[in-house]
Amino acid sequence: MTKKVLVLWADNQSANLGVRVLAQGMAEVARRAWGHSSKIDYQDFGPGDSGVSFGTRSIIRDFGRRRGPIKDHLRQYDAILHTGAGDSFADIYGFKRLSFMVYTHFVARRLNIPIFMGPQTIGPFTTSIGRFLAKRMLREARVVITRDTASANYAAMLGRAVDARATDVVFALPSVQTEKCRDIVLNVSGLLWFGNEHVNSEDYKSSIRKLIALLESEGRTVSLLAHVVNDPSVVDDAAAIRQLVTSDDLVNEVLIPDSLGQVREYVSSAQLVIGSRMHACLNALSVGTPAIPWAYSRKFAPLLADIGWDISVDLKEARDPAGTTLALLRAITDEQWSQKVQTVLSQTTERLELAVEALQPNLQEAA
């Protein structure tokens, strides 16, 4: 019988193409585990594909009632594949976001719908109530899979040994091979370009401009890439790029993708990707293109270390991100880049198979 699976906290229409990676990559993992005939739907905090919001208003209409928008929507599914929105199963983004996950989890449990936590970052939880809720959610999940060892260790600290240590689901997507017609594709992050809690935005802007100038002085050509497009908030990469190109004439072209498939074609066409959005870099690695991440948060380092990618620039520690990046380009040969990418692709294939094996028998047991 065809299984109906809800990929939770992912939106296949999102302006953030990294969120679309979560949707499509997690769906591919589900099909490998439970059959390609499985019917996959997506649900994010907002209405997304479903037309039903899983936010405050829906919770108010749902809470304490036998019927409600969230309960009625969940009832149609045989299983929930919880993505944690990649790195949002934590309380560092505020309790409101976590509370949406908590409420949906407990409703699903009351409806006897099995919850499978797919490859994701777990933690940190900085509050006692956050840790209490996380422990209960982890304990009640039928399967827990992380995308990095640090998250697996964190889950164990909360009392739940994980079922598999996998990697990011971007590596489950079909590979893309295109002609190498671009030199360096540089992803500029609107999240960091505008005011944010991660890095000093003015320092980031200066570093991006300096990097472009340094690359041009080395005879390299730079194409700017947006990975979040048409976002109504100010974190839109395209908006950041528009500000940059009005003051800088050194770029070769601007790439504004209209789909996840197109952004994967763009990074496949590059000799190298430099990116501040983690999934811009992971998309590149997954199609065989080397990448230098400009890391701004906890989620980068453990995931990259697990797959054997030891090349990145930490924006919180590097005094001169542009200079550090140029030094990496000078130090690493083309052959070394190729060898490192092949190591990543080999390791991620093995790690995703662990995720599939952990999920495979469990939906039948839950039926």
pLDDT in tens, 58-88: 999 999 888 999 999 999 999 999 999 999 9
Strand order in the sheet with 143-146: 39-43, 4-8, 79-82, 115-120, 143-146, 164-165
Q: How confident is the model at residue 246 (pLDDT cuts 50, 70, 90)?
A: confident
d(CA 47, CA 55): 9
CATH number of 182-347: 3.40.50.2000
Q: What is this structure's pTM?
A: 0.92
Q: Tell me which amino acid residue 53 is.
A: S
What's the longest Cα–Cα distance across the chain? 66
Spatial contact of 282 and 319, defined as CB atoms under 8 Å apart: no
pLDDT at 364: 56
Q: Does 182-347 match 4-165 at the fold level? A: yes
Q: How far is CA 360 from the centre of its chain?
A: 23
Gap between the Cα atoms of 28 and 219, Å rounded: 40
- At the topology level, CATH places domain 4-165 in Rossmann fold (3.40.50)
Which tens digits make up the pLDDT trace of 97-115? 999 999 999 999 999 999 9
User: For the chain, which residues make up each domain, given as ranges?
Assistant: 4-165, 182-347
| HSE-up (13 A, CA, CB side) for residue 292 | 24
Q: Which two tokens stand for residue 222?
A: 């730079």
Residues 6+ apart with CB under 8 A from 177: 268, 287, 288
Q: Which two tokens stand for residue 23?
A: 């949707």
Tokens 């590097």 appear where? Answer: 318
What's the mean pLDDT when you consider all of the chain?
93
